[in-house]
Chains A and B, each alone.
Chain A
Amino acid sequence: MKCGETVDTGRRQALKTTGSVGVLGLLSLLGLLPVSALAALDRTAFEAKTLEEALDALGALIIKESPLLTLTAPDVAENGALVPVTIESSLINIEEIAILVDKNPTMLVSHLALPKGTEGFLTTRIRMAQTSRVIALLKADGKFYRAVKEVKVSLGGC
């Protein structure tokens, strides 16, 4: 597996396939497409070239640390293609969770919206191109919190 330059084919392809907003809107009205409450189809944060840009696009201008937010990830990941990550928080009114890897070509890994009733707990698997910081960003009660962990990657998975 070789990493080349960042190629933005995904976005181009998405633009091609989705076509006009009108058709998309109609399809979603008919319930044929999943439409996100996270500013429908706004993928600006995924295209960010720096961590600051990504955080800005997520609306996270002021970010605090909180003992009520924990990020669990391995100290060393043998395989960067499959790094398990768990985020847990007992903060109240959790609205969003985002996972970022600051040395990946696409820093934002995923961005999730948690409706009321969904607990502050998430496990997933991410790709890491190289040794980097993993950042769990959480929005609760309109405020942003983060937990950061450095993960050493033996074999980059891109």
Chain B
Amino acid sequence: MSAPTKIRASLTGESVEVRLLMQHEMENGRRKDAAGNLIPAWFITEFKVRHLGQVVLEGQFGTSVSKNPYLVFRFRGGSKGDMLSVTWMDNRGDSRVDEAVIS
């Protein structure tokens, strides 16, 4: 099963800086295992970050994103104590939602 997304969000001045580490293998489907068989592609296809239910960043990933996708971005309008949620879905149909509070 998937591991939780590590989320760190802190208010600096007027904007909230969000750091995310989604824990996922991100297999690109071109690697081979020890026996020489192709390892099937397995990667996050899309994600969404919400602040109090409102989307602040969303996107699609391909197989050129590194293992354990890492993102840093900033948005305005957040306050200390507000809840952020991060949702992702992969090409196998797995998904998960994790939450964190702005510090």
B75 and A81 within 8 A (CB):
no
Report the nearest B residue to A124, measured CB to CB: B71
- The chain A residue sitting closest to B39, CB to CB, is A9
Tally of B interface residues using CB under 8 Å: 45
- Evaluate contact between A9 and B29: CB separation under 8 angstroms: yes
Q: Which residue of B lies closest to A99 (CB)?
A: B64
Residues of B contacting A82 with CB < 8 Å?
Answer: 66-67
* Contact assessment for B58 and A109 in the assembled complex, using a CB-CB cutoff below 8 Å: no
Q: Is the CB of A13 within 8 A of B62?
A: no
Interface segment out of the listed A33-41, A59-67, A136-144, A145-153: A33-41
Contact pick for A118, options B63, B73, B88, CB 8 Å:
B73
In the complex with contacts A18-B93, A158-B31, A127-B66 CB distance below 8 A: yes
Asked if residues B48 and A108 are in contact (CB atoms below 8 Å), the reply is no
Whether A2 pairs with B93 at a CB distance below 8 angstroms is: no
Residues of B within 8 A of A109 (CB): 61-62, 64-65
The reply to whether B60 and A106 contact each other, CB–CB distance below 8 Å, is no
Does A92 sit at the interface, judged by CB under 8 A?
no
Q: Establish whether residues A34 and B58, one from each chain, have CB atoms under 8 Å apart when the complex forms.
A: yes
**Which residues from 26 to 43 on chain B have a C-beta closer than 8 Å to any C-beta of chain A?**
28-32, 38, 40-43
A7: chain B residues at CB < 8 Å are 29-30, 38, 41
Known contacts A13-B91, A13-B92, A109-B62: does B77 contact A123 (CB below 8 Å)? no
CB-based contact A122/B71 at 8 Å: yes
Given contacts A34-B87, A82-B66, 11 further A-B contacts (CB under 8 A): A4-B32, A13-B91, A34-B88, A83-B66, A109-B61, A110-B64, A117-B75, A119-B75, A121-B72, A122-B73, A123-B73
20 residue pairs bridging A and B, Cβ less than 8 Å apart: A5-B30, A8-B29, A9-B41, A10-B42, A14-B45, A34-B47, A36-B59, A83-B66, A104-B64, A109-B61, A109-B64, A110-B60, A111-B60, A112-B57, A114-B57, A115-B56, A118-B75, A119-B74, A122-B73, A127-B66
